[in-house]
Structure formats: C-alpha cells, structure tokens
Structure 1
Amino acid sequence: DQYALASDEPQTVMVFSMGAGFCEASAATVTGMVVEVVASDGIQMGGRDLDARIFHTLAQDFQTRYGSDLMGDKTAVRRLLAAAQRAKHTLTVAEETSIELEGLHAGVDFFAVVKRSKVEALLAEELARCVEMASGVWEVAKAKAAETSRAPRLVLNGGCCRMPKLQAMLNALQEEGESLCLDLDLEEAAAQGAATQAASLVGCAEATPSHLMLFDITAAGLGLSTTGGAMTTIIPRG
C-alpha cells in the first residue's frame, strides 16, 4: 500500500519481505490507487532462523576450543544468541565484527572475530531458499510488466533485507541496469501498510488515502488442525 502512494504511474512491482519469522514475495499491479496482488508465495524462514544458525556455529566453536558444552546453561545461551543477532546486524554495514562475552560459561571468557564473508557462506542455503521462492513470483511480475512495456520494480521490506548478500542475490533476478527499490523504511513499511489497510477496512477516513483499493491474495494456505495433526485447508494459497 505504501509503495502505491509513492507513484501515480501504472506499474508492476514485486515486494520481497523478510522479517523475523517469515519470508514472502508478492507481485502486484498498481494503477493509480488500485493495487491488485497477482501472485504471492512464502516460506517459514526469517531473521530468527539466521540468528540460530550463527548461534549454533558459535556454540560449537566454544565447545571445540574449551571442551565445554554451554547448551544446558540458559543464561549463556541467551547471551550468545543476543551476541549472534548483534553480529548479524553489524555485518550489514561492516566486513567483520567481534564478540566478547566475559564469563560466558563455566567461568570461561569467549572472544571471536566474525567475518561477513564467513557468515554469508554459513547462511547461503537459507538465503538461496528465500530467493528461489521469490524467483517464481518474479516471473509472474515480469509477465505482467510486459503487458505495459515497463520493467517491474523489486521492492524490499523487512530488516533482513539490509544484508548485502541477500540484496545482491535478489538484484541478480533483474535485468542488467535495473536496481532494487530501497526507498521504503525496511523496518516500518509493513506496519504502515497494515495500518493503512486496517483503517480502510474499518472505514477510518482520516487515516485512509482516498480511493485506495487493495485486492489481496494469501501467500500460504490457511486451515485447521484435525485428527492426527493433519491440516485441513480452508483457504488455499493464492
């Protein structure tokens, strides 16, 4: 919704969103204030999964170096997980960072230098899964854009999209010379769009842009858990 408000010209966009727990890509046509989502897909993958992967690598490093398993120490686990998350954030703007945790476990101090290149290699599988999911939606966006003879835009949303490696992988989907749309606030765009849609649904004219219309679809099937833990789909994906 927020991106629609930024331009009056007809266009096709794909929004790639990766937050804490879910990665989603949606292709939409935007004509004036009418937004129609034409394709959407998503997988259970987000920042928490990336944090966990970095954390387990650091925990293994600790055990290898000091012969002590910290996984049963809740305080140590919490501190190391927080450090892994901070390192991930720092490496979006720096080539390397350091982790220093005094008395992490069994009285042992832990120090490690974490390099962006090694973290990117560590997370290669997770990032590839996200981009592979998005590539199918991107093909739909390109097909729709061909009807207007205008290249589709690839819009990023979500804190994980600050990662240079992820940006490069997504940028590779586009034609040479095209660039990613980084105009939106990666942390706030989804919340602002959701607030706009909620205001529209409840008829709050003061908070809703006039004549904004959104035709959405679901990125994943919705259903109920039934006997044996099986899922009965009520609303299929798309």
Structure 2
Amino acid sequence: MGTQMKRIYGIDLGTTYSSIAYVDEFGKAVVIPNSENERVTPSVVFFDGDAVVVGGVAKESARLYPNEVVSFIKRSMGEPNFLFEYNGKSYRPEEISAYVLKKVAKDAEEKIGEAITDVVITCPAYFGINEREATKIAGEIAGFNVRQIINEPTAAAIAYGSIEQTDNRVVLVYDLGGGTFDITMIDIRPDAIQVICTGGDHNLGGKDWDDRIVNNLVQEFQTQTGSREDILEDPDTWQDLQLSAEKSKKILSQREKTPIAVTHGGERVKVELQRDKFYEITRDLLERTISLTHGILEEARKKGYNRFDEIILVGGSTRMPQVEKRIKEEFGMDPKVFDPDEAVAKGAAIFGWKLSINDDLIKRVAQKTQKTVEEITKTMDTSSQQFKDAAREMADDTGVTQAAVESSLIKIRDVTSKSFGVVVNNAENEEAVFNVVLRNTAVPVNAKDTFFTAVANQQKVLIRIMECETSEEWVPVETAVEIGTAVLNLPTGLPTETPVEISFSLNREGRLQITARETTESKEVNVVIETTSVIRGKDLDEAKARSQGAVVQ
C-alpha cells in the first residue's frame, strides 16, 4: 500500500452511550473499544475536583456523588437556559458533551496509535437548528474539525446498505435509543441512499421506560412503609433508583421477573417486578412510537411510497422484547435487529470515509485540470472520465480497490425534519406562519416566495424566521419557534403591497441562510441563522480553553 488517506472518524454521540468507529484498510467499518475494552461508553460525566471522569466510572459514581454527575445531557442540547454549576463555574450542554467526545476519542487514539482530528458526529433526525448547531459546537470545543453532522437513522441505513447492495429496497428505520426516538423511511439502492421522510420525538427513549420503573418503585415503597414522602426529592435515592431501574429493565429482557431493593431514610423494602407489570406501565410509551410510525407512513404516501420492504431496528432500547413483538403485530412482518449499539457509529465512519475519498479525488482532478478545489467542488461530476481516471489512480496509490473507491461515491440525500417559514398576515389579516420550506423536503434545498408590504411608504420589514414540526404551509404563530430575525430597510415612497422576495437556503447539515429582497431597487438583507440558544463568544472561548486544559479520564 502506498499513501494513506486521511481518516475521518464517525462518532455516535448518544443520550446514554457513545461510540467511535473508522473504516479500516480492508474497507470495513470497525468500532474502537474504550480503555475498559467496552465497545460503548456511558455518556455520563463526573466532575471530580480538577479531573473530569467520563464513562462507566462516572456512572457508578452517581450513587455517591449525585450532585457532581451529569447524565442524559443530550436531551438538553440547544436549550439556552440549561446550566450545570460546579465549583463556581457554569457548564453548558455543549461543553459537557465535548467531554464525552474527548473521552471516546482519547481511548480510541490509545488503541490505534493515531491522532484523531476530523470527525462526523451523528444526531437524532428530529433535531432542529438549535440542537444541530449545539452538537457541532460540542465537537469544536473538544478540539475536532467537525466535517459534518448527519442523522442517526441515515447513518444506520448507510451501514445497512454497505453490507447488502444487491437490490433496491425501501426500509423503515425504527431507532429507539436511550433518550430519543426516530422513525425514518429510506430508499436504498446500489448507487444512492435517499431519505423519504423522517419523524420522531427527541424526548422519548429508554430513559422513559426507566422512569416508569422508578415511579413504580416509589409507589411500592410508599405502600409497604405507609410513608407519603416523595423519596425522589433525595438526590441519592433518585440516583440509586435510576441505576436500579436500568439494570432491572435489562434483566426483564431475559427473565420474567426481577427483585429490586429500595432503600431510603433507613428503611429498606424489596419489590419484585414482573415483566407483565413492566409492559403494563410502559405500554403507552411503546404505543407512542407506533403512532409516530403511522404518521411517517402517511407522509410517505404523500410522496408516492405506499409500501416498504423491511423494518430494521437500531438503538439499544429495541432489545426490549415487547418492541419487536409489537412491531410484528402492527405491521405484519418480522423486523430485523441490526447492530443496535454500533450501526450508527459505523454508518458515520463510512460517511467519513466517503468524505475522505471525495477530498482525495477532488484534489487529484484539480491538479490535473489546473483548477481550484472550489471550482471542481462546484461542478463535480463523479461519472465523468476525469473522476474515473482519478479513482483508478487513487486505487493504485492507496491500495484501496477501485470498486471500493467507486462505491464510496454513492449519493446520499437526506431531508429536513422541520418546516421553516416567516410570520406574515394571512387572508383574515391575522399573524400566522407561512412555511417556505416544508418538513421532509430533500436537502440541500433553495426555496423562495413573494410577500407584500402592508402599508404605503413602509420604511422597513421585520422578518421573523420560524421553525415548526408540521408539514402544513400555514400554521398558528404559537405552534412555531422563532429562531432568528432580520430587518429589511425599504426605499421611500413605496406603495402598499410592494413585493418582497424571501429566499430560504438549507444545506445538508441543516444550516439555514435567508435572503430578503424588495423588487423595485433590489435592496436586500442576508442572514445566516446562528441561534442564540447555543454557546457563543467569550463563553465559547472559555469552554474551549477549559476543555483543552481538562484532564479527561
């Protein structure tokens, strides 16, 4: 083998567990074990003096130091008001997530003996602008060059498509993780992976099943002791019950019942949790996933997809037997359990490998044609003879087979999981949101619409940019979230109903740019949505400095 391509690693930044993978010299995606030789690392952070402990030790430390341990931080990504206080310092979700990223990367570096600089990080398909931006910033705080943020179900489909590419099939990816649920329909072909539509709930996951067990344990404790105290107000008891609930949930996947001890305030009771009881108290959670799945099937029908060939289950929470049983009952086919813990990281690694090959090919074509990398990128045609020659040359230089190089050029097309629009007056002259880009539109996308000024001699237009979870064109303002604003100054003396064009440009990562232009003098305003909900400026600089200096164990 000659020269080696730059590796771009894939990281599954999960709510409960995270992992990292890369594509080896044989073209196979491989998950790299951590320092404890586990293939997944708990996404738990323990602030222990000057040290930051991440993973299994942090999770166990939660029993003794509940106030110094942070879990399930992914559910708070993009929330502007979340702060974790420790030793007089405030930590945002992005910085806490950065420590998880640093831990999995540090352990991987020690295993493979190679520095990790470039990464692809996954996020739930249902993440909006705020959450995606926060995920990217977490990677930057950790010191990485974040090449792309991709959706978890898309990553799983890439991994699935990489091992079976003999025929065309429409696949439903049911992804139930520790803290999030995504349901995505994907058209997988030998030369392309096309996301049809996606939905879900980033506040629905295995943790909610744990919480139901915890609530049941509290009720049993109160019944057996005669106490009416809310024992969850005690952080030590709460943390102990959370760990016991997760453990018992896993046991009930194998056995019909499990004993659980509940200790609080010097009293100890024993609770025997039956599998049937567990199913009963969590049935509505499972039904919520079924309802969301039917919603996606309805969206798919609008796009002409009236059937699917397979259902694949990813995410650790799909190991609960009731999930597979309920899906078979509802949809009349046996779902395939596909690498629940590792598929997302492997898919992200394959996507990173594709980016790396593309980088190399573009550089080679640019050198041969004496054009810039930017020029080649804009006019890239991977079916051209220039690219085929570059692929053959690259295979000779790197040892990667030409077939592998060509297979990496598979086209991947995702969709937006939200709708984006602006606040305008509707036909009844009431404020409402008109969505210019509708949910489940393929990205990248450029869309524009024309609106009109309300009064004569209007001096400016306030453009309120909104994000919402519906596929309808018109929605009430209160059902959407404002993610940015822009002000367009107008020429003097304009009549009423002067046209104003508003264009939306959404890239593959979900980054949104808005352009507004009035048509008489072509005055315009451009704004790239940089949400105020994520860490910025001085706070971001301080977080990066702390991260660089932190001892992560």
- Which TM-score bucket, shorter chain as reference? 0.7 to 0.9
Q: Which of 318, 324, 347 is 1:193 aligned to? A: 347
1:98 deviation in Å?
A: 1.1
1:143 deviation in Å?
A: 5.7
1:190 deviation in Å?
A: 1.4
Q: Does 1:162 align with 2:316?
A: no
Q: Does 1:232 align with 2:232?
A: no
Q: Does 1:19 align with 2:173?
A: no
Alpha-carbon distance between aligned partners in 1 of 2:354 and 2:269, rounded to the nearest angstrom: 51
For the Cα contact (< 8 Å) 2:192–2:411, is it kept in 1? Answer: yes
Q: Does 1:80 align with 2:241?
A: yes
For the Cα contact (< 8 Å) 1:221–1:233, is it kept in 2? Answer: no
Instruction: Give 1:160's aligned amino acid.
Output: S
For the Cα contact (< 8 Å) 2:354–2:409, is it kept in 1? Answer: no
Alpha-carbon distance between aligned partners in 2 of 1:12 and 1:84, rounded to the nearest angstrom: 36
Query: Could you say what the CA RMSD is over the residues aligned between the two structures, in angstroms?
Result: 2.9
> What residue number does 1:180 align with?
335
Q: Which runs of 5+ in 1 are unaligned?
A: none
Alpha-carbon distance between aligned partners in 2 of 1:33 and 1:87, rounded to the nearest angstrom: 44
For the Cα contact (< 8 Å) 1:11–1:29, is it kept in 2? Answer: yes
Alpha-carbon distance between aligned partners in 2 of 1:188 and 1:179, rounded to the nearest angstrom: 21
Instruction: Give 2:349's aligned amino acid.
Output: A
> What residue number does 2:291 align with?
132
Secondary structure at the residue paired with 1:123? helix
For the Cα contact (< 8 Å) 1:42–1:220, is it kept in 2? Answer: no
Secondary structure at the residue paired with 1:172? helix
Q: Which runs of 5+ in 2 are unaligned?
A: 1-157, 361-399, 421-464, 468-477, 485-505, 511-553
Alpha-carbon distance between aligned partners in 2 of 1:111 and 1:218, rounded to the nearest angstrom: 48
Q: Determine which structure has greater relative contact order: mean sequence separation of CA pairs < 8 Å that are 6+ residues apart, divided by chain length.
A: 1
Q: Which of 253, 260, 264 is 1:105 aligned to? A: 264
Matched length: 224
1:232 deviation in Å?
A: 2.3
Alpha-carbon distance between aligned partners in 2 of 1:58 and 1:78, rounded to the nearest angstrom: 13
The change in CA–CA distance for 1:221 and 1:80 in structure 2 (over 3 A counts) is: farther
User: What is the CA deviation profile of residues 83-112 of structure 1, one whole-angstrom value per residue up to 9, with x for unaligned ones?
Assistant: 0111111111211111135xx211112311
The change in CA–CA distance for 1:233 and 1:91 in structure 2 (over 3 A counts) is: same
1:144 deviation in Å?
A: 3.1
For the Cα contact (< 8 Å) 1:98–1:114, is it kept in 2? Answer: yes
Alpha-carbon distance between aligned partners in 1 of 2:206 and 2:309, rounded to the nearest angstrom: 27
Instruction: Give 1:58's aligned amino acid.
Output: L
Instruction: Give 1:76's aligned amino acid.
Output: T
Identical residues among aligned pairs (%) = 25
> What residue number does 2:197 align with?
39
User: What is the CA deviation profile of residues 129-172 of structure 1, one whole-angstrom value per residue up to 9, with x for unaligned ones?
Assistant: 111101232453896375xxxx5100000111111112122112
1:192 deviation in Å?
A: 1.4
> What residue number does 1:213 align with?
411
Q: Which of 198, 216, 221 is 1:62 aligned to? A: 221
Q: Which of 91, 94, 97 is 2:255 aligned to? A: 94
Secondary structure at the residue paired with 2:331? coil
1:204 deviation in Å?
A: 6.7
Instruction: Give 2:176's aligned amino acid.
Output: M
Alpha-carbon distance between aligned partners in 2 of 1:33 and 1:153, rounded to the nearest angstrom: 19
The change in CA–CA distance for 1:196 and 1:38 in structure 2 (over 3 A counts) is: same
TM-score w.r.t. length of structure 2: 0.37
Alpha-carbon distance between aligned partners in 1 of 2:168 and 2:483, rounded to the nearest angstrom: 35
1:33 deviation in Å?
A: 3.5
TM-score w.r.t. length of structure 1: 0.82
Bigger Rg over Cα: 2
Instruction: Give 1:130's aligned amino acid.
Output: T
> What residue number does 1:4 align with?
161
For the Cα contact (< 8 Å) 2:354–2:408, is it kept in 1? Answer: no
1:81 deviation in Å?
A: 1.2
For the Cα contact (< 8 Å) 2:353–2:408, is it kept in 1? Answer: no
Q: Which protein is richer in helix relative to its size? A: 1
When structure 1 is superposed on structure 2, of 136-145 and 79-88 the one drifting more is 136-145
1:233 deviation in Å?
A: 5.7
